[in-house]
Structure 1
Amino acid sequence: ASGVAVFDADTAEAWARAGRKVILVRSETTPEDIHGVLAAEGVLTSRGGMTSHAAVVARGMGKPCVCGCEALRLTDRAFAVTTADGEAVTVREGDALSIDGATGRVILGEVSLREPELTGELEQLLAWADEIRTLEVYTNADTPEDAAKARSFGAEGIGLCRTEHMFMSAERVPVVQAMILAETAEERAEALAKLLPMQQEDFEGIFRAMDGLPVTIRLLDPPLHEFLPNMEQLVVERERLNGQPDADPDRKERLEKLLRKVRTLHEMNPMLGTRGCRLGLVLPDIYEMQIEAVFRAVLSCLREQLDVRPDIMIPLVGHANELKRMRELVTRKADEVLGEFARTFRYRVGTMIEVPRAAVTAGDIAQHADFFSFGTNDLTQMTFGYSRDDAEGKFLTHYVETKLLPDNPFQVLDRDGVGTLIEWAVERGRAVKPKLKTGICGEHGGDKQSIFFCHGAGLDYVSCSPYRVPLARIAAAQAQLALGSTAAPETAAEEAVTSGRSA
């Protein structure tokens, strides 16, 4: 991608509206930056890695992204860097910049670009792959546009719809923040009532795009503080206002209220704190709103004679009682909204297996689940004890370069550790429910070696970002060709294709 450097999401959006192509440069992105990511041609961050917020969001949109470029020294509206030739360079806002998301290169100035194309030869190869493979290929998509794009690439369903991404547009963030900052149940209900039709509209669009295919909808997963401003920035702003004798007292009071709430929500390790189903159990009205929106959308699409197939995913379950309680909530709200359709309309309720305890106790959890979707990003993080936001930019590169690890486990699935947990969970889950649907929806769903593992483990599907669907279709066929071979999986598949068996 090529464009001019900008250093905040609002500027990226404003300049893009004015017709300028921009590259969003941040230390790291947060959910508050989503409108800037949408507006930008690409994203460049000085922190993060393969599964950081910027990488995951940009990959899903098909945008180039370079994460964890620690050589960048960000200042106000600029960054300094030493080039490969040893030259000290400063890039200021408005300067031309190019990034290569495949190699990680950051290039001064603009480069010549052309749109990639699906050639007739590739389409023929994909058709052959589809005749061979048994593993289904789904997509991770959060908008009707992403869903339609993935379907055009051959996706057979949505394996992960991250509902929190629907909250992140510029016009919705204030409503979400009002819901979080509510002091009373009535105030929260008022904000949720505003979000309900927005969510319903989102789901209707996705159901229309995926007419006749399954759509797995994950209820709100991240901790609430991610939707609020950074605490350090709020403290700086408060000090600035306190230094102004004529500052608006109402503005100061609103800022103090916001800072108090951010401090209340602050956790030492938020990724292991109040998020996922824990949030749904503590504040069930948020999940109730989302479930109601799903089934209102179902009703609307049924009236349009569409074939709607929703799967409701409960995130971060670690104990069977959590899923049992959440399933009861889904069933109650579905019956309430669907009315007479409740007796005949079929939907599934399942969970994302991302906590090691859930994998170990999968037999108990399967009693309340229609499907298991393995969230391999978090499952890898929790199994290794590696922070996925920190490890890739710190010690993990050293581990891979010095052969302490064969691969980055956030890019290639760790078969011995994480893979064993997945196999264990599948075996124990299907011992309780033989027809339990299983798949993965982490970033490994688009990695060739990981797809070989999923095929061998007997999973039903892999789910990946829309632009990785063609690769996953071919890798799944190669895995099928290699079945039963004693050679290394990749070697066997490559030999099979070369020998002409794929034709």
Structure 2
Amino acid sequence: MATKAKKSAKKRAGKIQYVYEFGKKTDGDSKMKELLGGKGANLAEMARIGLPVPPGFTITTEVCTYFYDHKRSYPKTLAKEVKAAVTTVEKQLGKKFGDTKNPLLFSVRSGARESMPGMMDTILNLGLNDETVEALAQKSGNERFAYDCYRRFIQMYGDVVMGVQPESENDHEPFDEVMSQLKKEVKASEDNDLTVDDLKELIKRYKALIKKKTKGAFPQDVYEQLWGAVGAVFSSWQNERATIYRQKYNISAEWGTAVNVQAMVFGNMGDSCATGVAFTRDPANGEKVFYGEYLINAQGEDVVAGVRTPNPIAMLADEMPKSHAELVKVCAKLEKHFKDMQDFEFTIEDTVLYMLQTRNGKRTGLAAVRIAAEMVKERLINEKTAVQRIPADSISSLLVPVFDAAAAKKAKPLTVGLPAGPGAATGHIVFSAAAAERHAEDGVKCVLCRVETSPEDLRGMIASEGILTSRGGVSSHAALVARQMGKVCVCGAADVEIDYAKKTLRVGKTVLKEDDYISIDGTTGEIFAGQIPTAPSEVDQVLNGKLKPAKSYTFQMFDSVMKWADKYRKLGVRTNADTPAQATSAVAFGAEGIGLCRTEHMFFEGDRITFMRQMILAGDETERRKALKKLLPFQRKDFTGLFKAMGGRPVTVRLLDPPLHEFLPNDDAARRAVAEALNITPEVLTARIASLHEENPMLGHRGCRLGISYPEITEMQARAIFEAAAACLNAKKKVDVNVEVMVPLVGFAKELKLQSDLIHKVAAEVMEAKKVKIKYLVGTMVEIPRAAVRSAEIAETAEFFSFGTNDLTQTTLGMSRDDAGAFLGDYKELDILPQNPFASIDQAGVGKLVELGVEGGRSTRKNIKLGVCGEHGGDPASIKFFHGVGLNYVSCSPPRVPVARLAAAQAALA
């Protein structure tokens, strides 16, 4: 690992401190997340503000860095610091670690600075052995509780530390198999039905399993257990699921994780005990309600693992009214202090409440918008904080389709589960992560159906349209991860029976097989057999005039956030659009112009493709001009429609860019039809097509090279643009026009000069003929490295630059975006590329060329307009970069416009 954390250690005066305590003696606070991780920093903060936190200590992220830099060893002073911290906890609680009279037990958990739920390892009940378990039984007066804790500890330690795991993805968990066999023998249906003697027998069998699988014995020395657990947590920072998660959410591998060692409190001592996970607001829809789940007589992993479906937190008011009232007060205190929705874990031990952790809660996009908007109204936060708090990408979840109301009403739900991730998802049923990945690779939509999900299912969850589980609640792993990903999710559908062996999903008498269609509604929890058609979201319906704003609270919140974003952003936001319908949609989403109109997309409809092929296959300029004359009215009509749709907003029209062979037919039947239309023989046609063949079309005869070889093409397109503009300006209902003509693939200043002179000549002719003054600019798309390097020279002619970062990435990295998928996964795992460079701009490489282009352009033409029109224009991380280098605008596809507006505001406020 890299050594950023070590550098921060050197900055602190004196001896490096690797262990920070929390409890009555608290060293850290919530501002120390880089060093203590999110969990450790917040435990310290909760202790500071007087919440009932079991004492413990945090081993810093610097130790994780040291661990990987020094062949999995530790700093020399660490053991002494850990021993001292254990002694502090012992004194606070009057218990001793490893004591045979009053034993102290610990939980050992990870804690990265960014929350990574379920991705790293956890150990509970550490400190139990054959002697301390007897002491715990005697001290608690509850022998069953003690041996239940011991069997849980052996199972977790055997799995996480000693590596007793399934040998393949189709195998069952070894410990679960042992328990299932014992339950069968003693006729116990639930874990809680096992007697003390049953648990003792289970422990014996667990130890034998460990011996068989590892050739080693389960450790009895408590400090050996502690260091084994600490090492396992540090090691889990580099496990597969943690690595995949970091890649998805761009969490740096350099950060490392902290380890939190905390005194155990017990929710499984009897009916006066409970454990739960709660939120200060509903993480699915953002409503301000005390929301969560709990289980009586259980430990924390029972709730989050989805092994048992827990009770809604409201029921706790009846079962434990005093504890419920305390939790309500804790909610208010947490929100007031942290000023954000909190997700916290709690345990009630013999009616006494303890807080085990808190963090800013993962939430859906809908919830993120609602919570931010309502917290502004409540004066908990201001508009700027609200804008910064909503993940920009999550705003798009307010625009995703929902099930068509009429169709859903006609369809009868199979059953209803817990709504955990809003939206509508339809797809083929799959029962494994591997199957979901295979479907995604084939471009087939699927819904991942599991009894409960585990962190190992992460790849499948990413690949699926939606997630359905038969067990687990709204705080289960499936729900938590789905909310963060913006996935549609229904959890805890108890009526759903999933049989992995038979690959079936049964609800009552209805049996669905793998690859059958299923539809799930993550807003209502409803589950349907088959496909249900979808309808636009509420926001979409308001923007398209099909729903009044007053009838949609969702739209009102969306509108508030967008207005705040527009108030603070500096970057303009345009759209990539080729048709009036796309343009109209983008304007409704807040686009301020068109940053890229791809004219080649206009040539494929109806007769146009025939005339286009006539032009391409023409034997000389006369024939070419003849075909171009037929294309001119089509292009003029298209541009007229775009200009009207944009109503005076700038429209950047890119001249013909792709190589000509892309317009030609590939199969024999289509070639015969074209030959007949052109009145030539198929053999002549085939010969002409062969003459246009290029070894590398991406680098071949395309872009401005076409316009230089065949100036008549540029001339026709320019004439269509300016005649359309003149028609709008001269119409009875005058439409203002703001045209920007973009010449693609320029690498040499003279290329642009030749094309620009021709465009200006045509513009002058049209303006004189139509007696009109047209406002226009001529510029270029910077998409090859030479253009960025020679930008100062090119800016002598160019009135604007638009960085075409898709092709600029291809030409700079020497990678095809169509073929890079074969190795990009390996590159991300090996940290060669932190993310897909076609999704988020390679700032260190391609970004440097953008900076060079900006600097050169402005050195020649101080007020040159600078934008970006690749899909990077809709990526929040890229937008932050573009803001930083001083571009005037970004351009992206219409549905990404709200994302870009919000991301641009966040960049400005950062």
- The TM-score with structure 2 as length reference comes to 0.40
- In structure 2, the partner of 1:256 is 683
Q: How does 1:461-500 map to 2 (within 5 A)?
A: 461-482=889-910
- In structure 2, the partner of 1:293 is 720
Distance change in 2, residues 1:188/1:401 (3 Å)? same
1:189 CA displacement: 1.7
- In structure 2, the partner of 1:353 is 782
SS, match of residue 681 in structure 2: helix
1:188 CA displacement: 1.6
CA distance in 2, matches of 1:158, 1:417: 27
CA distance in 2, matches of 1:342, 1:385: 48
SS, match of residue 866 in structure 2: strand
CA distance in 2, matches of 1:461, 1:143: 21
Q: How does 1:80-479 map to 2 (within 5 A)?
A: 98=445, 104-105=463-464, 108-109=516-517, 110-112=530-532, 113-118=534-539, 119-230=555-666, 233-234=667-668, 254-304=681-731, 305-339=734-768, 344-392=773-821, 394-479=822-907
> Relative to structure 2, which stretch is displaced further, 163-172 or 376-385?
163-172
Distance change in 2, residues 1:253/1:334 (3 Å)? closer
1:170 CA displacement: 3.6
Distance change in 2, residues 1:183/1:234 (3 Å)? same
Equivalent pair of 2:632/2:716 in contact (CA under 8 Å)? yes
One-letter code aligned to 1:298: A
Distance change in 2, residues 1:283/1:252 (3 Å)? closer
Equivalent pair of 1:234/1:259 in contact (CA under 8 Å)? no
CA distance in 1, matches of 2:794, 2:435: 57
One-letter code aligned to 1:448: P
Equivalent pair of 1:316/1:352 in contact (CA under 8 Å)? yes
Distance change in 2, residues 1:396/1:342 (3 Å)? farther
SS, match of residue 736 in structure 2: coil
Equivalent pair of 2:661/2:692 in contact (CA under 8 Å)? yes
CA distance in 2, matches of 1:265, 1:327: 26
1:345 CA displacement: 3.0
1:319 CA displacement: 0.3
Query: How much identity, in percent, do the aligned residues show?
Result: 51
Distance change in 2, residues 1:236/1:182 (3 Å)? closer
Deviations, residues 361-388 of structure 1 (Å, cap 9, x unaligned): 0000000010000000000000000011
Q: How does 1:23-62 map to 2 (within 5 A)?
A: none
One-letter code aligned to 1:138: R
Equivalent pair of 2:791/2:853 in contact (CA under 8 Å)? yes
> Relative to structure 2, which stretch is displaced further, 396-405 or 347-356?
396-405
One-letter code aligned to 1:264: S
- In structure 2, the partner of 1:73 is none
SS, match of residue 778 in structure 2: strand
1:404 CA displacement: 1.8
SS, match of residue 581 in structure 2: helix
RMSD value over aligned CA atoms? 3.1
CA distance in 2, matches of 1:303, 1:479: 41
Distance change in 2, residues 1:251/1:434 (3 Å)? closer
CA distance in 1, matches of 2:814, 2:791: 21
Equivalent pair of 1:312/1:350 in contact (CA under 8 Å)? yes
- In structure 2, the partner of 1:72 is none
CA distance in 1, matches of 2:716, 2:857: 30
Gaps of 5+ in 2: 1-395, 402-427, 448-460, 466-514, 518-529, 540-554
CA distance in 1, matches of 2:676, 2:624: 25
CA distance in 2, matches of 1:458, 1:250: 51
SS, match of residue 415 in structure 1: coil
SS, match of residue 658 in structure 2: coil
CA distance in 2, matches of 1:340, 1:171: 28
CA distance in 2, matches of 1:328, 1:63: 45
CA distance in 1, matches of 2:907, 2:685: 52
Equivalent pair of 1:98/1:108 in contact (CA under 8 Å)? no
Bigger Cα Rg: 2
One-letter code aligned to 1:439: G
CA distance in 1, matches of 2:771, 2:659: 32
- In structure 1, the partner of 2:495 is none
SS, match of residue 403 in structure 1: coil
Distance change in 2, residues 1:402/1:297 (3 Å)? same
Equivalent pair of 1:154/1:469 in contact (CA under 8 Å)? yes
CA distance in 1, matches of 2:573, 2:653: 16
Distance change in 2, residues 1:249/1:460 (3 Å)? closer
Equivalent pair of 2:767/2:773 in contact (CA under 8 Å)? no
CA distance in 2, matches of 1:329, 1:249: 35
SS, match of residue 637 in structure 2: helix
CA distance in 1, matches of 2:431, 2:682: 44
One-letter code aligned to 2:597: C
Equivalent pair of 2:429/2:446 in contact (CA under 8 Å)? no
Distance change in 2, residues 1:120/1:396 (3 Å)? same
CA distance in 2, matches of 1:366, 1:236: 44
CA distance in 2, matches of 1:82, 1:398: 28
Distance change in 2, residues 1:108/1:263 (3 Å)? farther
CA distance in 1, matches of 2:758, 2:737: 21
SS, match of residue 634 in structure 2: helix
Equivalent pair of 2:747/2:787 in contact (CA under 8 Å)? yes
1:84 CA displacement: 5.8
1:286 CA displacement: 1.0
One-letter code aligned to 1:357: R
1:413 CA displacement: 0.6
CA distance in 2, matches of 1:206, 1:138: 14
1:149 CA displacement: 0.6
Equivalent pair of 1:149/1:466 in contact (CA under 8 Å)? yes
CA distance in 2, matches of 1:352, 1:297: 22
SS, match of residue 627 in structure 2: helix
One-letter code aligned to 1:395: F
- The TM-score with structure 1 as length reference comes to 0.72
1:199 CA displacement: 0.3
CA distance in 2, matches of 1:449, 1:250: 50
Deviations, residues 377-434 of structure 1 (Å, cap 9, x unaligned): 0000000000111112x11122113322100000001111111111111111101110
One-letter code aligned to 1:211: G
SS, match of residue 665 in structure 2: coil
CA distance in 1, matches of 2:561, 2:429: 44
Distance change in 2, residues 1:436/1:253 (3 Å)? closer
Distance change in 2, residues 1:87/1:131 (3 Å)? closer
